[in-house]
Every structure is written in structure tokens, then in C-alpha cells.
Structure 1
Amino acid sequence: MGEMFVCFVFLCLLNYGDSGGLHLQGDYIISGWFPLHNSDSTLPPTPYLTDCTQGLTNKHGYHLVQAFRYAVDEINNGTQNKLLLPGVTLGYRTYDLCSLPASNLATLDLLAQQDDSSVVESRTVAVIGPDSSSYSFTPATALGAFLIPQISYEATNELLSNKILYPAFFRTIPSDKNQVSAMIQILVRFNWTWIALLASDNSYGLQGMQGLSQQASLYNLCIAYQAVIPAVTNKTKQYMQDMVKHILKSKVNTIVVFANKRRAAGFFPFVIDQNVTGKVWIGTEDWSVASTVSSIPGISTIGTVLGIAVQYTEFSGLDDFERLSVPRLQDTSLNSPINHSVPCMQNTNLYEIAIQGFSMSQYDVVSSFNVYKAVYAVAHALHNILHCDSGLCQKYKVQPWEVFHQLKQVRFSIRNTSFYFDKNGDPPTGYDIVTWVWTDGQWSFKVVGNYSPAPTELQLDASQIKWTGQVSPVTKVPESLCSPECPYGHRKLLTGQHKCCFDCMACPAATFLNKTGYTFCQACARDYWSEEESETCKKRAELYLPWGAPLTTALLIYLGVTLFLTLGTAVIFLFNLSTPIVKSAGGKTCLLMLASLTVASCSTLCHFSRPSQIGCLLKQPLFIISFTVCLACVTVRSFQVVCIFKWSSKLPRSYETWAKNRGPEMFIFITTVVEVFISLLRMLLDPPFPSRDYDFYNDSIILECSKTMSLGAFAELFFVCVLSLICFCLSYMGKDLPANYNEAKCITFSLMIYMISWITFFTAYCISRGSFAMALNIGAILFSVLGILGGYFLPKVYIILLKPQLNTAAHFQNCIQMYTMSKQ
């Protein structure tokens, strides 16, 4: 297998030869990959290994190495050794990963060891590192093929959770998937829907940008502008300046910068140069707490910085270990040459770095604790493999794949925190939410909240955030909106490609909206209504004539008066039935007329209260039929008078036949039967029923009987109108008869009242409905009754009560004689 890597070995420069590497002998070796130096040199077209020692010392990487050594030392020599790995020791081998080629070379060296029989005792059982997602993909692929476990402490790219591509990759830092979710929750929490999204030009930034872009639409967030931050070169400076101009042009107040600290540190000087102030910047865990960004001159003016940070845990002991370990690092055994399988490995002389006395920031503590947890995870895996529960580990050769399988099952408590790997090799930890704080020009950050991925929960104390405006600090949370939210009662009308940009349109009547962010208004329920711009619906009023209403009381009084007059007239006629005036009016037929008028008046009782099925069936037929009887009686009386005075001499036999065969009674009966038949046919074929009219008024419901204007109803009315017309014609023909028999004026007056009443009602019914129209309907019925009563019966009552001298046979005989003489 060693021959497989020969082609890769020649990729490095042989002029470095064998060089020293930080190492510690032990029964089981762990490889530690840390960035002890920074190198931003541009790679040439051919593979080239940068000399890490030529770059700047990375103080953060120094603390990571020391945390690695501290964990191993604590397990080997501390009280933990008695319980965790009794009887065996851990060793380590470190690599300085200042560049991508250095990462690839470390991978080749480790794989070459696995096939080298001369280094069986010093083979690596697990790898801790590297610090970057970009540096992790190649090692994760290569090591995963051999199931050599790799635990990264800072690589967050979501793709590394793919167990098909990277089966042996683990990490002690949360995945970017959780970081994206935390950022989304912050944006939602402050309603920042109009944002700019920037990302570094590596897998870390691009994957974060992709994840945030995909989730943004699910939370109604709009990305007004997005761009990739490249490395700063002469060629990219203009691009970076244009990027800042585009941010200003887009008028966003919140910018998400999903980048590593190197790209962020290169980008923000361009922001400062263009005097960008008053913005809100949301940063990733890689740069938001990194001093390489916060130490940029003038960066305190850019606005408010909110950042994601790996949750902080108290990590005591590392400071003392670093301080006490400096003299020990002079021990040549730690820095003596290692027999690397691949030459030209990087120098990791830690003493030269340690004597510089780097201080430790909170960012360093968090990452160092991740390294610390990774070492303990390997130790717990070895504990299970070596069966150390008996009090003494069974020392034997351990294969990396055994450690891999045990890492998936480890679960332990460390520094009062529970730790394990989920099915994707990710830890169950969340994030702290931090904000930058400037005190007299000195930078620090403050934890203002936290984010938990399972279940998804953001806890944030906004009162702890010091918002920075364009000129001075502000107390109000800055807005970042394309369009302000529509007030209640208004819907959104999208005006462009972004759903965050819209106009507000008032909800029309009969709709409402009591929430923001909707593009449609919700219709009110049928029993409710609303005006324009409403946020709630009101219950519709029900229009009918309840018994206790003042209008109902007035109508009932009106009905009582009508009944009193009708019944009073009937009593007067009954006691004067044999008098000439009553006989000339129709005799007993008058009682039938008054009875029908009484029934017609009583039909109005069906119009009060809520409509019922029986009431709807009876109210119109009851009036129509009873009024038909009355009109038929008047028609018969008019016909008889005309026949007696005008046609009896010309058609004596016809009138005699009419009189002897009960013609008047038959006419009244037949007309009544016809009207009854029409009414019954209507009730059978198109019966009315209680209905609720929702359409005539927006704010009211009309409780009425259906079919008021139906064909059957018009047929009933048409028959009555024809009968009225016949009655009027016969009355008009008798206009020159004796005064006691001349009813033309009275009947015409009665019929005119009848016609006007119903024309008024139908006109009002078409214009207005509800209680007013119902009252008009009752009024039309009672007016029709009073019209007949006043036009036909009242003159006769007047003669009976006040002019009895005119109610004699002699007077009537005299009138007939005078009429006869006038015709001769």
C-alpha cells in the first residue's frame, strides 16, 4: 500500500528534509493538527508546500496545542487516570497546519504510517483537528476510507455531517446547519426581513450562504444583495469597494457576514473606508469573537455587531498548565526529530512560541475546550475498547476502526457538561449570542442570549444590546425592512420580485385582517360584516319585527283601531240589516265583506316576530283570499245595481235567471275558489319558507319569507287586480244612478287607496328592506282594509247614525222616481 502514496510524496519540496515535530511517547498515539502559524500566500499553479515557520505565529493555534497537551497530561498523570485509562498512557504527535498543502501532507503521513510495519507501536488511533472546514474535506475523505476517526474542534461545514461521504468525521463544535438556524432565529426575533448576505469564498462561507438562502424564504426573509468575499489582492480591491456600495444602495440595515475571520478581517477595512455606520452586522462563530477582526482600526464605527459564539464553559487549569509548561518545552525529547513516513513535515517547536507569552481570550478558551473534549472522547472510546471498568485496562493493539465505532457510542460528563456525538457525528451543544461592547475604545463582547438546536429555541435579552445608530447610540431596535408592515385591516400587494417589498391595500367591506404579512383579506362569516380597513368583523343585525319593539307596538295599535272600526261597522250593520241603506249596500253580503276585511286585518299578525313556516304559508294567501271575497262582493253589488237600473228592461230573462239561480253567491264562490286554487298551487309548487337575506344589506340580515316576488305571488295579485278592475268598471257604469245606489265615487276611492298602498309598498320594497318594508307591508294591508271600510261602509254608517231620515223606504222610493223621471 505504501507505493500508492509515492506520487503524492513528491508533491512536497525535499529541501526541508527531516525536521522536528512535537511529540510524546505513549501506548496509544493521537495526532493533533493545529495552526501554529498563519500563511495567506497564494498557491502557484503547481502544488507547493509553504514553509509554515515563515508565516506569523498564530497565538490561537498555540492555545489549541496547549489544550491538547493539557488533556493528555491530565489523563496520563491526573486523578482521571485512575478511572479512565488505568495502566496505559496516551501519546501524541502534532502537525502545524498553516496551509491546505500542509493539511494534505499530514494526511499522507498518517496514512503511510498505517502500512509501515516499522512504526506499529506509534501508529495513530485518532486525529484531533484540523481547525478549518476547508482543510478538513480531503483528510475526512481519505481517513474515512480507512475508518480512522477524525475529530475537528473548529470545522463547522454542514457537508461534513454527511456520513456517506465522511463516515469517520466527528466534531466537538456545532454544525453550520445550527449556526444558520441561529442566525435565522435572530433575524426573525427582530423582524429584520430585508438583509444583505456576504460569505467567504471557501466551503465554510459558501455552504453557510447556501443554507441561509434556502431557509430565508421559509421565514419570509428577503436577501436584497448577496456576494462572496474574496482574499484581498490588487485585483479584488475594486470588487470589495463595489460590494460595499451595493450594500448601501440596497438600503439594508442588517448584513449577515458568513465568513471566516481571515476574509472578514480583509473585508471590514473597505466598510470603514466608505464610512458605513449605523448598520447591524451578524457574524459567525469564527469571526464574531476573534480579535483579528475586532482589532481593525476604526471598526467600532460600523454599527452594532451581533455574533454567534460556541457556548462558553468555565475551563480552569489551562492557564496554569501553559505557564508551568514553558520550561519543560525546552526538553529536547519533545522536539527531537520524528521518523516521519513522509519527509519535509513542518516544524512544531513549541518552545519558541511559548516564550512569547500570549494571553488567552474567551474565544481561545472556547476553542481550547473543544480540543479538550475531543481528547477525552478518544480516551473514553479507548476505555471501552480496553475494558477498563475492571480497574486496569487490558493493554493490546487497538485499530483505528475500533476507536471509530466506540466514538459513536461514548457519552460522558466533563466540566459539568454532558457530551456525546449524534448520528451525524455532531455534538448536542448550541451557541451563545454575543454583542460587541466598546468601553473607552477597548473591545469586549457580552453574552446576551443563547440558542439551542434541539428543540429549536432562541433566548435573547434585547435590553442588554447597545444599539449603535449612524450618529449616536439609540434605544430603539433598528429596522431593516423593504416596506413597513401593513396595519391591521390592510393586505400586502407585492410590487417586485421580493415578497418583502409591497404596498398596503385596504381590505374591502365584508373582509378583515387582524394579522400582518398576508396578501389576502379574510372574508367574514355570513352572520358577520365589516367596513373597509377592518381588523375584526361585527355581528350582523337581524331585521324583523319583534313583539316588544316600538314600531311593532304602533302597528298593533293601528291593527286594533282597524279591527275596532271593522267590527263596529259590522255590529251597526247587523242591527240595521233590514233598513233600506243596508239592503241597498248588499244586505247580508255586507256582513261577509266585513268578515273578510276582519280576516285580512288579522293576517298582519303573521308578519310579526321571526318568520315561521306556518306564518310564511299563511300570511299572503290569508290576505289575498279574504280581500278577494270582499272585492267579489262589491263587484256583485255593483253588477246587480247596474242590471236593475240599466239592463233589466233590455235583458229581463237574463237578470231573472241570474237572480233565481243564486248568481251573486256563485260569482263570489267561484272567484274565491279560483283565488284559493292559485294560492294552493303556489304553496305546492313554490312554497315560501323562512329565509335569511344576506345580500341586500352589508351589515344586516333580513329575516323574511322567501318568494315574496315570485311568479305565484304575482299570479295571486294579478287575479285581485283583474277583479278590482272589473269592480271599478261596473261602479263607473253606475255613476248616473240614484244617489243612494251610486257607489262609483266611493268604490273608486277605495280602490285607489288599495292601489296606492300596494304600489307604495312594492316601490319601497325594491329600495329598502327589513323592518321598514315589513311595516309598510302591514300598513298596505290595513290601508286596503280601511280604504274599503271608509269608501264603501263609512258613508252608510254616517247615514245610519247621523242621518236616519235618509234611511227610509220613502226616501229611497223618491230617489228612484226622480231618476226615472230624469231619464224620460
Structure 2
Amino acid sequence: MGELLFETLLLVCFWSCCYGTGLQHRGNITIYGMFPLHNVGATISTVPQLTDCNRGTANSHGYYLVQALRYAVEEINNNSQLLPGITLGYQTYDTCSLQASILGTVTLVAQQYNRVKVEPRAIALIGPDSSSYSFTPAAALGGFLMPEISYEASNELLSNKQLYPSFFRTIPSDKNQVKAMLEILVRYDWTWIALLGSDNSYGLQGMLSLSQQASDFNICIAYQAVIPTLRTDTQQRMRNIVKNIIKTKVNTIVVFSSKRIAKGFFSFVIEQNVTGKVWIGSEDWSVATLVSEIPGISTIGTVLGVSVKYTPFNGFQDFANQAITKLRNISAENGFSEMSVPCLQNTDLYEMASAQYRLAEYDIASSFNVYRAVYAAAHALHQALKCDSEKCQNTEIQPWQLFQYLKQVRISIRNTTLFFDEYGNPPTGYDIVTWIWINKTWSLGMVGSFISEPPNLQVDASQIQWMPESRCSPECPYGHRRLQIGQHKCCFMCIECSASTFLNKTGSTSCQPCNKDQWSPSGSEDCLPRTVLYLRWDDLLAIVLLVLLALTLLLTLGTALIFLLNLSTPVVKSAGGRTCLLMLLSLTIAACSSLCLFSTPSRASCLFKKSLFIFSFTVCLTCMTVRAFQVVCIFKWSAKLPKFYDTWVKNRGPDIFILVTSLVEFFISVLCASLNTPLPSADYDFYFDSIVLECTILV
């Protein structure tokens, strides 16, 4: 049943075709190619059918791709050492539409089933030109491990070796292209963007990949939409997309689209008079003249694009210029006696060559990738056929055998290295390009490059004509944090940092606390050192206290001296005698303990400042107590207890009382100092901008 359906589909495709002259070259081994020689609009039908490719508009880009295939094959056939004794042939299909690429794939698969007899059989496929057209052949031919080497299909899904085991490409995958786009957005701080993707696998997958990674780079997507293929019923959708872009007030729009769909979209951008924007373009349309030649497109703003890395392709221009002569008798040039799919091979290349299309850098870059793809297949054949410098050992080779050797290819082509990683991707970077308009004349300028591993973007901004800002909210100044407004983290208001916090960078949602020995006023971008407070010797307060201390010492020591000189006199004896001297000494020591308040606190000053004062003052109070007790005894108790005072004095009661009381206080002070030793400390809480150095008892 499956084979019947397969053959029915093939017959239906044949009935829808026309017959004409094809482009092919006979050889011992044939490489098939799929190239967009014409552009045919999409058709809506309930049955499989194919519009004749010649009814579409000629595609100069596809013409040069075919020339690159011919150029590579001629070089290889003239190189006696690469495939000695073997002639490489080619047969091409005009993939003017998706239906055409499917029909070409059906023909190649039919060869593997031996349903269509074509000699020689295809050994490999070069192409097609787009990701959308590549999925069908990549899946169908992968079942037979027939190598397919695309020169422009960049969709990351094609790297899936379980679905597309024999797919290779000479262009980087969109995974790296997305990296390049994100690096550009980050470099110029374009965080508020619109993201558009064409309604095909290329655009949808690229848009999905970029949207998933955007948040990791702090990029917000204000608006996202899928660009449909231009038809009568999709024109209003196109206009609505443009109107929504205007409403979101973004200045940067990323357009991940194929060139065919981008062409239809930008006509509505021009219609809506959208100007002053930055358009970040994917490699398929950013360098395509199909888009840059749209009337009025010079008004849309700055176009920055990612493009396939340009390599000088010396000799190709001359080969293409000589194509008119070589193609004049193309129908008789080693043609096949049978045409496998006439309607895909009826292009008059001689007529296209006569048009003398301008060879743009975009054409050169893609043509060089075709050239590299052919050489990759040729080198794999060199290994598979066990060729040396004189001859090849084998002349029979199956596609699956070539596939094994193609995975191992590592060659140098015109100062570039080509090999395929485990996913069939090459080690190629990108060029960053911009559109340059001088008096409405378009040209393409290379302003930078991107390497994926490790990610490295280099851009010369001085060569870009217009680079506006594209942000939802202006960046907060230093000393202010972000407070998000709404669902997008790019939209925020700025809140001043509170005192004792700071912020010296942008983009943060929280302020940083100052260190313990620092402080800051509100809205500060850095912290200031706290003032250290302690009583310095040269402070005014210290000087006043020292003066008072000097007066106190003068009074106590002066009085003590007077008492000492008159110790035996009745007046001194009646005042207390030696007890008064001890009292004055303790007061002197208590006053001197205030010297521990000056300068930076130390362990010694903290220990003696309080303990020394308490002990010496206790001695003073003890002396005053004894003296008061003696007065009471003399004036109040002398009549009642006449012998008590004599006994008190004769047995040295005052001295013993003072000694015992002082010793008790001394031991209490020592015990307190041992259990709760006062240590130097800093108080950070009393003043927010100062540190108070003091002595603290640790509990």
C-alpha cells in the first residue's frame, strides 16, 4: 500500500510538469543539486501539483549557486590528483517552490527503490537553499544514509541526527546565529525589543530559540509575532503586526525570517511609514538583494544583519562572466538521454547568463559554501574510492559508503578549514553587516564578526549610521535600585537607596549594605568611613577635664601637705590626723583614675578606669564613716557609754574597720574584674555615622 501511494504521488507530480532543457553534466559519479533558479508563489490546492518553475521570476542568486557547482566540478575534474580517472558529473533541480523541492526529493528516493531508472545514480545531494525546503530531503534521504550537504539551511532542528542522520551543511546552524544576535543586543543595551519570525520552520525555530534565551541576557520581548506568507488573505495581518510594533514603542526589531517572507513584510513597514528603527536581520534576508531592492526600504532605519562569513572567491567572477559562451549550446553538452524530472530542469541558463546579473557579496558567500560542499563530497569520494595520485581503486560506491567518509572529512579550501562536527555543522563564524545608503544607492558594509566558540563579538560602531536606544525604562542612576513595574523586568521605577546602603552599579533590584565601619546617606553610590569617637588628649573637652583634674590634685595634695606638716597639732588631730591623710590620698587616686578616659581604650585602661575609682572612693567613704562614727561617739554616746570610745581607740578600731572594709572592697573588685572583665569595644549603634570606642563588660 505504501509503495502504491509513493508511485501515485510520483505520477501526479509528473503530470503537473512540463518538458524542457535541463542542466546536467555526465560523469562516472553524479552529484545532484537543488538550487532556486526561480521564485514561484505558494499555491493552495487539495491535490499535489507544481507550477512550472519557468513561470516564476528569475532568481539571480540561484543562478550563481549553480555556477558555483559547475565551477567546483570543473576544477575537480581538471585536478588529476583528487579523483584520478574519475569524472564527476552533476544534475540540478530548480527548487522554485516547496512543491518543487518535494518533487526532487521523491525522484532521488525513487532511485533508491529502483522505481525510476536514471544512470548514473545520485551519490550525494547539494542543497536545497532553505531550511523549509531541506526537511523533506533530509528525512527521506536519511533513511538511505545518502549525504545531503546544504549551503544555506541553518535551522538547528536539522542537527538532530536521530531524525536527519545524513544531513550536513557548510553554513553555521541557527543556534550560533541566535548567539550572535543576542550578543549584538547586549553590546548596545537594546533590552526592549520586538521579535518577529517567518511562518516556516526556519523563522519559527529561530524565534523560539531567541525568545527562550532572551531573559538570560536581561532582554525583554515587548511584542512577538509570526510573519505569514504574503497572500490576499494575510495582508491585514501584516498591517496589524506593523501597527503593534509602533504601539509598543520599541526601537529595535529582530526579524528572524526567510528572504521570501521578509520581502512581503517590509512592503507594509514602508506603507505604514515606520522610520528610525534598528532592524536586526537573520542571515537569510539581511544580505539578500531580494529585500534590499524593495522600493522605499531605505527609510526604515538601520539594518544590522548576521551573514555567512565572507571569504574571497578568486576566479569565480571570471568563471561566471564566461558562462554565456559555455552555456550557449547547453542542450548538447553531454546531456542525459533521459530527463528524470523535466519540469525541474527546463531552465534556460543561457538566457539567465545573458541577463548579466550583478554578483553581490551575498552571492559570493553562498556560492563559496556550494563550492565547499562539492569539495567535501569530492574528498570523501577520494577516501571511499581509495584513490592515490594516479588512480582510484574502486569505481562503484554507494551513498551510505560515502556518508561514512564524509563524517571524517577535514580539508583546507582557499585558506579556510572545513570539517563537520558530530551534528554535521561546520566550524564557521559570522560576519556582522549593515546596510549603507548613499543617495538611495544600497551597499553592504561589513562592520564586525562573531565567533561562536568561545563567544566573541567584534563590531565597529563608528561604521553604523544610526543607533537609537531601545529601553522600556531609562537606567537608574547610581544610588538607586530598580522596582519592577508590570510583567517585564525591563520596565521599572528607580527607588533611592536608604541610609547606610549604597549601589554603585546599574540594573540591581537591591542596595548593598555598607560595611560595619562605614556609613552613607540615602541615595549614595558608595560608603564613607565612620568617624571614630574617643576622648583625645588635644580635644577641647579633654583640656577642660585636665585643667579640673589639675585643680583637684592641687587641692588634695596641697591639703595633704599642710596636714602632713602639722600632723602633731591639736587642730589636725581633731580633724582626724592620719585618717584625713588616707582620705585625701584616696581622693587623689580616684581623681587620677579619670586619666583612663583619655586616648584609645586599652585592656589596662578599661580594667583600672572603673575598678580603681570604686576602690579608692570606697576607701575615702570608709574614712569618712570612721570619722563620722568618732564624732557621734564623742558627742552622743560619751555619757551613756563612757568606756566604749576609749576601748574603740585603744584597740585601733578605726584602723581595723578601714582595713577590713578596704580589703572586702578590693576582693569584690578583683572578683568582678575576673568574672566580667571590661574590654575595649566599639559601639556602632549609638551614631549611624560614627563609632564610639568604649569599654564594655562582656556578659
TM-score when normalising by structure 2: 0.94
Q: How does 1:728-807 map to 2 (within 5 A)?
A: none
The answer on 1:509 being equivalent to 2:496 is no
The answer on 1:535 being equivalent to 2:533 is no
Query: Are the aligned partners of 2:22 and 2:342 in contact in 1 as well (CA < 8 Å)?
Result: no
- The 1:654–1:42 alpha-carbon spacing in structure 2 relative to 1, beyond 3 Å, is farther
SS at match of 1:174: coil
Shift of 1:551: 5.4
Query: Are the aligned partners of 2:21 and 2:342 in contact in 1 as well (CA < 8 Å)?
Result: no
Shift of 1:149: 0.7
Q: Name the counterpart of 1:815.
A: none
SS at match of 2:232: coil
Q: Name the counterpart of 1:679.
A: 669
Q: How does 1:85-484 map to 2 (within 5 A)?
A: 85-116=83-114, 122-329=120-327, 330-334=329-333, 336=335, 339=338, 345-467=344-466, 477-484=467-474
Shift of 1:55: 1.2
- What do the CA deviations read for 1:671-714 (whole angstroms, capped 9, x no partner)? 43443344334323333222122222222222211139x8xxxx
- What do the CA deviations read for 1:323-356 (whole angstroms, capped 9, x no partner)? 3232332232349565356786553442233233
Counterpart selection for 1:622 from 596, 612, 630: 612
- Amino acid in structure 2 at the alignment position of 1:582: V
> How many angstroms apart in 1 are the aligned matches of 2:348 and 2:293?
28
Query: Are the aligned partners of 2:86 and 2:392 in contact in 1 as well (CA < 8 Å)?
Result: yes
* Farther-moved stretch of structure 1 (129-138 vs 548-557): 548-557
- What do the CA deviations read for 1:759-795 (whole angstroms, capped 9, x no partner)? xxxxxxxxxxxxxxxxxxxxxxxxxxxxxxxxxxxxx
Q: Name the counterpart of 2:477.
A: 487
Q: How does 1:688-767 map to 2 (within 5 A)?
A: 688-707=678-697
Shift of 1:305: 1.2
- Amino acid in structure 1 at the alignment position of 2:259: K
- The 1:48–1:580 alpha-carbon spacing in structure 2 relative to 1, beyond 3 Å, is farther
Q: Name the counterpart of 1:754.
A: none
Paired residue total = 697
Query: Are the aligned partners of 1:27 and 1:121 in contact in 2 as well (CA < 8 Å)?
Result: no
* Farther-moved stretch of structure 1 (599-608 vs 362-371): 599-608
User: More helix by proportion, 1 or 2?
Assistant: 1
> How many angstroms apart in 1 are the aligned matches of 2:190 and 2:28?
55
- The 1:337–1:41 alpha-carbon spacing in structure 2 relative to 1, beyond 3 Å, is farther
Q: Name the counterpart of 2:586.
A: 596
Counterpart selection for 1:566 from 556, 559, 569: 556
SS at match of 1:92: strand
SS at match of 2:304: strand
- Amino acid in structure 2 at the alignment position of 1:350: L
* Farther-moved stretch of structure 1 (639-648 vs 590-599): 639-648
RMSD: 2.4
- Amino acid in structure 2 at the alignment position of 1:543: L
Q: Which structure has the larger Rg?
A: 1
Shift of 1:651: 4.1
Query: Are the aligned partners of 1:2 and 1:112 in contact in 2 as well (CA < 8 Å)?
Result: no
Shift of 1:180: 0.8
> How many angstroms apart in 2 are the aligned matches of 1:420 and 1:507?
55
Runs of 4+ in 1 over 6 A off after TM superposition: 1-4
Shift of 1:666: 4.0
Q: Name the counterpart of 1:729.
A: none
Q: Name the counterpart of 2:568.
A: 578
* Farther-moved stretch of structure 1 (594-603 vs 340-349): 340-349
- The 1:56–1:344 alpha-carbon spacing in structure 2 relative to 1, beyond 3 Å, is closer
> How many angstroms apart in 1 are the aligned matches of 2:694 and 2:249?
59
Query: Are the aligned partners of 2:24 and 2:89 in contact in 1 as well (CA < 8 Å)?
Result: yes
> How many angstroms apart in 2 are the aligned matches of 1:61 and 1:132?
12
Shift of 1:284: 1.1
- The 1:344–1:243 alpha-carbon spacing in structure 2 relative to 1, beyond 3 Å, is closer
- The 1:397–1:368 alpha-carbon spacing in structure 2 relative to 1, beyond 3 Å, is same
SS at match of 1:689: strand
Query: Are the aligned partners of 1:508 and 1:532 in contact in 2 as well (CA < 8 Å)?
Result: yes
> How many angstroms apart in 1 are the aligned matches of 2:389 and 2:230?
58
* Farther-moved stretch of structure 1 (220-229 vs 284-293): 284-293
Shift of 1:421: 1.7
Q: Name the counterpart of 1:26.
A: 27
- Amino acid in structure 2 at the alignment position of 1:83: Q
- What do the CA deviations read for 1:440-472 (whole angstroms, capped 9, x no partner)? 1111121111111122111111111111xxxxx
- The 1:7–1:274 alpha-carbon spacing in structure 2 relative to 1, beyond 3 Å, is same
Query: Are the aligned partners of 1:19 and 1:338 in contact in 2 as well (CA < 8 Å)?
Result: no
Q: Which has the higher contact order (CA 8 A, sep 6+)?
A: 2
- Amino acid in structure 2 at the alignment position of 1:384: Q
> How many angstroms apart in 1 are the aligned matches of 2:82 and 2:55?
40
- Amino acid in structure 1 at the alignment position of 2:50: L
SS at match of 1:122: coil
SS at match of 2:111: helix
SS at match of 1:256: strand
- Amino acid in structure 2 at the alignment position of 1:50: T
- Amino acid in structure 1 at the alignment position of 2:515: A
- Amino acid in structure 2 at the alignment position of 1:28: I
- Amino acid in structure 2 at the alignment position of 1:452: I
- What do the CA deviations read for 1:100-157 (whole angstroms, capped 9, x no partner)? 2211221121122123299585111111000010011111111112111111011111
The answer on 1:633 being equivalent to 2:623 is yes
Shift of 1:313: 1.4
SS at match of 1:435: strand
- Percent of pairs with identical residues: 63
SS at match of 1:639: helix
- What do the CA deviations read for 1:145-188 (whole angstroms, capped 9, x no partner)? 21111110111111111222211111111111111111111111
- What do the CA deviations read for 1:612-633 (whole angstroms, capped 9, x no partner)? 2333222201101100111221
Q: Name the counterpart of 1:761.
A: none
> How many angstroms apart in 2 are the aligned matches of 1:113 and 1:64?
25
Query: Are the aligned partners of 1:481 and 1:500 in contact in 2 as well (CA < 8 Å)?
Result: yes
> How many angstroms apart in 1 are the aligned matches of 2:342 and 2:368?
32
Shift of 1:96: 0.9
> How many angstroms apart in 1 are the aligned matches of 2:395 and 2:116?
17
- The 1:11–1:527 alpha-carbon spacing in structure 2 relative to 1, beyond 3 Å, is farther
Q: Name the counterpart of 1:66.
A: 67
Counterpart selection for 1:500 from 471, 490, 494: 490
Please, which runs of 5 or more residues in structure 2 have no aligned partner? none
> How many angstroms apart in 2 are the aligned matches of 1:644 and 1:622?
33
Shift of 1:478: 1.3
Query: Are the aligned partners of 1:112 and 1:341 in contact in 2 as well (CA < 8 Å)?
Result: no
- Amino acid in structure 2 at the alignment position of 1:525: N
- Amino acid in structure 1 at the alignment position of 2:456: E
Shift of 1:20: 4.3
- Amino acid in structure 2 at the alignment position of 1:373: R
- Amino acid in structure 1 at the alignment position of 2:447: V
> How many angstroms apart in 2 are the aligned matches of 1:659 and 1:336?
148
> How many angstroms apart in 2 are the aligned matches of 1:122 and 1:200?
38
- Amino acid in structure 2 at the alignment position of 1:463: S
Shift of 1:207: 0.9
Query: Are the aligned partners of 1:84 and 1:379 in contact in 2 as well (CA < 8 Å)?
Result: yes
SS at match of 2:205: helix
> How many angstroms apart in 2 are the aligned matches of 1:240 and 1:16?
33
- Amino acid in structure 1 at the alignment position of 2:432: I
